[in-house]
Amino acid sequence: MNNKEPLPALTSRTVQVGRRQIFISETGVGHPLLMLHGGGAGASGLSNYSRNIESLARQFRVIVVDMPGYGRSTKGVDRKDPFGDLAGAMLGLLDTLNISSAHVVGNSLGGACALRMALDAPGRVSALVLMGPGGVNTTRSLPTPGLKLLLDYYNGEGPTLAKITRFIRDYLVYDGSQVSDEMIRERFEASIDSQVVAAPPLRRPTGIPRFSRWDFTRDSRLKHCQVPTLVLWGADDKVNRPSGGEALRSRMPDCNLYLFSRTGHWVQWERADEFNSVTLAFLASRTAR
């Protein structure tokens, strides 16, 4: 599809996947591209990728998901193995949509889900684009201040506008002045949904976790994963350490790494034009004709 042709209208619907209802939005034509958002309070698919969908849909059938626990999808995620639970749900979604193989783009928690999909079912993932993914070196150092804020958002006094404002403006992005009050208010309102408060999707693990479930660098399958991978990381990420990019590049057989200067945890939003260009070039070269 060339840039002058109008895109198909963005359509949204809810899909039954096992016991869950998964909310998805679609546009574009071509090879399927599954887009998975981050795990911050109040996150959702469309808000996470508001600056990317149109560009990517010029070349791909873009499917933007509200992952379980978020947005308009069923709440609740397995705290003992959240990455595995989410990956299983997304593979089930591909089954329901009759998609045998898809490119997968994932930001933060969505990146962890995408990488787990590639480890659990490599034949289903034709290429990976990971932006500051979770679950990398997490058992090798203490959590960052940004990650602590994210994991503790529902603890103590519970969710507040001040908490989410501090997280987004001071930790999520490099330049907090670029984030509107309206966006923060929307995220806050989504974060206090009664079902989310009753079962927050992203919290600290319970008991003594299996390290391989929480840290991909402890998973022996990583060094055998042949899925073509592009890792994008903000050099000033305060949530997931940028050193995680080299940890993946050095372990995965077909992994490319791109660091963005003066960029925080939200590469696809903070550096949207460059993200779109780099991602399109990478995926186009990994798409069967």
User: Minimal CA–CA distance to 34: which of 54, 57, 63?
Assistant: 63
The residue type at 116: R
CATH, residue 82: 3.40.50.1820
Catalytic residue among 31, 37, 103, 265: 265
**Six token digits for residue 124:** 């289903």
pLDDT tens-digit map of 72-87? 999 999 988 999 999 9
Sign of CA dihedral 62, 244, 232, 270: positive
pLDDT at residue 209 in the model: 60
Strands 61-66 and 32-36: parallel
Parts of the chain with a pLDDT under 70:
1-4, 205-212, 289
Instruction: For residue 37, indicate whether it is catalytic.
Output: no
What pTM does this model have? 0.94
Domain-embedded: residue 198: no
pLDDT at residue 2 in the model: 62
Domain-embedded: residue 199: no
Range of the domain at 271: 11-141+207-285
Domain-embedded: residue 119: yes
Domain-embedded: residue 55: yes
| Helix H or strand E segment including 195 | helix 194-198
Domain-embedded: residue 159: no
Number of domains in the chain: 1
In the three-class reduction of DSSP (H, G, I as helix; E, B as strand; rest coil), residue 276 is classed as helix
pLDDT at residue 140 in the model: 86
